[in-house]
Amino acid sequence: MRIGYLIDLNKGGYDQPMPTPADAHATMEAMIEEGIIAEKAGFHSLQVPHRHGRTECYLPGPEQILTILARETEKVAIGTFTLIDTVIHPMKTAEQFSVIDNLSKGRLYTTLSRGFHPGYWMQFGVPQERLLGRFQEAIKVWKEAFKGERFDFDGDFWKCEQALLAPQPYQPGGWPIWGGGNANEAAIRRSADYGEAWTCDPSPLMKEVWDEQVGLYRERAEELGKKPLIVLMRDGWVADTFEDAVDQFGTHFIDEMLFYFRQGIYTKNPEFQTEADVTVEKAAPHLVMGTPAQCIEQLERYHEEYGVDYFTLRFRMVKGPSLEATREQIQRFGEEVVQPIHKKYPAIDHPALPEVCRW
């Protein structure tokens, strides 16, 4: 079992006024600092999301901050959670990520997804029809690019003429790819087709649904001769008491849940059918929150009962906690939760992880 940290690239509130240059600079610096602190605190990886066209997003796209973190860190794996590969030409992303892989000496991996937010496709003038085909073609372009030779690609959505990926990735054959699909059964099974791991977002879980989803992924992975790896993202906070953690973190998580509830993300969960259902009391069982012992117990429960191999933790939402409080939380969670778990459980030797990061 291993634990990574997700650097949220949002801050300040949804649809806030345009950030000032001074605010943008200071916030970018603080987000980079989160990654540096997380490595020192013992987290296994750093992950960043993919967002565009919103005033609360200070680093649009994951490529910029990952390029910086490739230089500013030495040991942690670095990756996307997730890259929406339907909005940008796949040769452009291949070039950017190959640079990142080389700068980091082979510590890169990428979680890929089709995406769900129409604003991102609108930002780049991408048609919203047949997005699955666009997604699958982008992966095919990457696979061709990883061969190190010039190639032509004449697809329905992407075209390349005498394309060449140079430099080639530091990792021979390309960096590991994780599956980012959990919206439906087909997306879950498809994650095994193109990826080395299956990832699940921080939404509230229903055990019976989870078991069905994991079963679909495992079955498909094993059909393909792959060893399954289950990745779960959770939000959380460690404090002296559970009540302190609720006070410091609970309201921020509720604001985030409400945003996604309004996007229709929780429609299939009977616990969350109206906005009035989105409460701290109902959300708390789905968080990793409380004392260090409670956080460790929750992570181990997910590992033992849900079969989770790898965790992605997030401590900061759009509206908070503050950047200062988050830095302190990264340090404390790392020392009091992550390090004890990493000492207790063996390293993961799996192709989903860059070879130099299987510690």
Q: What is the pLDDT of residues 16-67, one digit of tens each?
A: 999 999 999 999 999 999 999 999 999 999 999 999 999 999 999 999 999 9
pLDDT at 268: 74
Backbone torsions φ then ψ of 313, nearest 5 degrees: -105, 140
Torsion of CA 71, 74, 75, 80, to 10 degrees: -10
Predicted confidence at residue 285, as pLDDT, reads 86
Q: Is the pLDDT of residue 273 over 90?
A: no
207 exposed, middle or buried (CB, 10 Å; 0-12, 13-18, 19+)?
exposed
Percentage of residues in the chain having pLDDT higher than 70? 100
Neighbours of 60 (CB within 10 A): 15
Query: Cβ distance 198 to 352 under 8 Å?
Result: no
